[in-house]
Structure 1
């Protein structure tokens, strides 16, 4: 077991990529704290993860709830080996039809929330520990109607590099995963592409399919492990070739 007795914190670990990642860490022997804002999904996730997981209701933007989380980390773990700053939201923000409240909410959760997750965890991160942030290919694709989300993920990319410079001298590695379109609850039941838009997205991916959550999770485990001990301030893109070789996508090949 690669992570036997390692201590892991995953924000937004009650569903989607976060939950699948938590499951893999537990399978590899880790003890995991997951957070989320919805108590029902947290309860379900805790049941699925078993005795080596702790579920804490915590909003990444709520100072009091972050303090409560710090208390749990201190009392139950004492230290952390891996932090996966995964919590994030998305909503349409088309120019000309977006409220300031909606725009700011996306930026605050995705950028400010990620930063204060790392800052809150810092006192527990020891030399050799690993921080992984969750980005998105949306930061470079220029998808219409996604200004806030795309900007937030571009900010996470820049922040990853800054944090790696700040925390590297402490022996802490900071990297990020960059998922493309992935089968998560955001797309509906079981993340399946069930409408014309999702079918078009699938055709725009060179590999001709959406990513699986466990494919992202395995990259997170790699970045959290000793196998990536010489990787710092960089990103692993998991998008089926959408950003590296878009001309090979089925939509451009008449398929």
Structure 2
């Protein structure tokens, strides 16, 4: 009679950095990685939000939360110095932090442009760049892009352009970091039920319209995105590199019946 040997959690002994980890997809990813045995670092700009997230995650000494603005290299350097002292090396980076401002192009201000580019492109770029000294050879980087850079959306010009730039990094960095066997992939979530979605799509009618755009006739959950991030970070995706993986229920590539 064959006896099954319990398998170790997928990320036992690994350390994961998640930017924008206080809510939404970042929070759900932190929850999943902790459940799978990882040590997890979450960061964001809002100290109160991080405190609440830390209490909910209850990760003990496997969880470290610290405020940082990813668009400021000095903040990231300080954060990563602390991560190095606490955990040593990094095995996974989920560059998740991002913001959205949705307007017609003529309505954008200079402040809007700087705000979105700082978070959605500069923040991703600096997160990867400043993490490199701590990343082990063979590590995995996942960049959070968006379905909006695959289809035109009238009020999404600024947001989609920054997400297209972030997604492109997955291709170029996969080549740039190949000598260290660091895999770099992007995900492009569709309509996902996060705080940002609730704020951007405030009425029940608008949310129903968003759901109808998916062939699955619903919006996604942060947990479903987290599962995709964990797959890309795992050994199961060892030969997946430089891709932009849609997690959108079919919004981009299929037409609802």
Instruction: Give 2:46's aligned residue.
Output: 38
Instruction: Give structure 2 stretches of 5+ with no counterpart.
Output: 1-8
> Which of 41, 57, 66 is 1:56 aligned to?
66
Give the structure 1 partner of residue 128 of structure 2.
118
Q: Is the 8 A contact 2:140 2:184 kept in 1?
A: yes
Which residue does the alignment assign to 1:87? 97
Q: CA deviation at 1:222?
A: 0.5
The RMSD of aligned alpha carbons is 1.6
Hey, what does 1:24 align to over in structure 2?
32
Paired residues, number: 247
Matches of 2:75 and 2:136 in 1, distance apart?
A: 23
CA contact (8 A) 2:99 2:116 kept: yes
Could you say which residue in structure 1 is the equivalent of 2:246? 237
**What SS class does the counterpart of residue 141 from structure 2 fall into?**
strand
The 1-side partners of 2:23 and 2:134 are apart by: 25
Deviation, structure 1 residue 194: 4.2
1:136 corresponds to 2:151: no
What residue number does 1:203 align with?
A: 212
When normalised by structure 1's length, the TM-score is 0.93
Q: Secondary structure at the match of 1:123?
A: coil
TM-score by length of 2: 0.92
Once the two structures are TM-superposed, the CA of residue 199 in structure 1 deviates from its matched residue by 1.4
Structure 2: distance between partners of 1:142 and 1:100: 22
| Runs of 4+ with >6 A deviation | none
Partner of 1:223: 232
C-alpha contact (below 8 Å) 2:91/2:136 kept by paired residues: yes
Alignment correspondent of 1:66:
76
Match of 2:173, SS? helix
2:132 and 2:222 map into 1 onto residues whose CA distance is 27
Specify which of 156, 170, 184 is matched with residue 174 of structure 1: 184
Residues 102-133 of structure 1 deviation map (CA, whole Å, 9 limit, x = unaligned) = 02221221011000000111001112210000
Report the Cα offset of residue 193 of structure 1: 7.3
Structure 1's unaligned 5+ residue stretches are none
